[in-house]
Structure 1
């Protein structure tokens, strides 16, 4: 089975593991919520800024396969406060707890953090792209043939050089990485709401 390392934050631990044992680079795929989109990249993205050196090391000096979900894509993973109240909070202690964790953010900042009617669940593509996916061709054994269209679109590009400020410099040689252009929020959030309802209804 494929091994995914999913990161919705900084890349310190992954970079440290590869520095300690470079041979693991070809044993897993890194799925990262972070950075900005190609071609230019950008500055100020939170998960890149946690540890820019780690991100640079992984992009520039390793062969690890990377699936990147940049800020412009993960920012589209939005739910409304009403959806949380209707599809999450009523279902068991877990549903109430999950909603409360979000709503507590507003109170934590003395109501100075106004999220309006929406919340961005930007780390959720980690589940979508690993658990809610087709069988990978290397493990799918069947006389049937199929072409995977996929509902989350991506580009496979030569890994660019990641600069210290989060911008990219294009390269023409090197390994390919996957950079997502969009993610299937309908599948991702619909599956989440359905699992909460089916498993925690009274």
Structure 2
């Protein structure tokens, strides 16, 4: 989608590959070809058959201009785009059903920072489940309360949502099949030093 500075062929193909890697290896960080990554992810996932919610006017206008915007309320949308402090509660998004768990929503968060390892000023999230060898921990620039709410949503497997985190040209994902635990308190490096 050129309106979002996303190459509609090569950019979406490379973004799709990064998304596949992120979803198959939850809690790992991958690079996208376009900045901001949330626009590349949205352009890759959203078409005229997918309902979408976002408060980002540039994003919704670009999708509408391409005939790809089927707007919906957050609680009913297939794909929901969010900034750092969404105006809706992630626990109210569609989690699918026991019969159709794949009908659960996908939420795309735009965060200030995303790191393969926990860092100061980022919330540490420990992930376990399919695609994770034991556990893995990464850092995400979202408030712990938002990630705690996401953990609540993911505790009802097979129902749940797929969460995608984006920052600049990076992406990480937590599919509904994984469990996550948010670190209590501020992250302290193992060596006790400052980051």
Q: Same fold (TM over 0.5)?
A: no
TM-score (norm 1): 0.30
Structure with greater proportional helix content: 1
Structure with greater proportional strand content: 2
Larger Rg: 1
TM-score (norm 2): 0.30
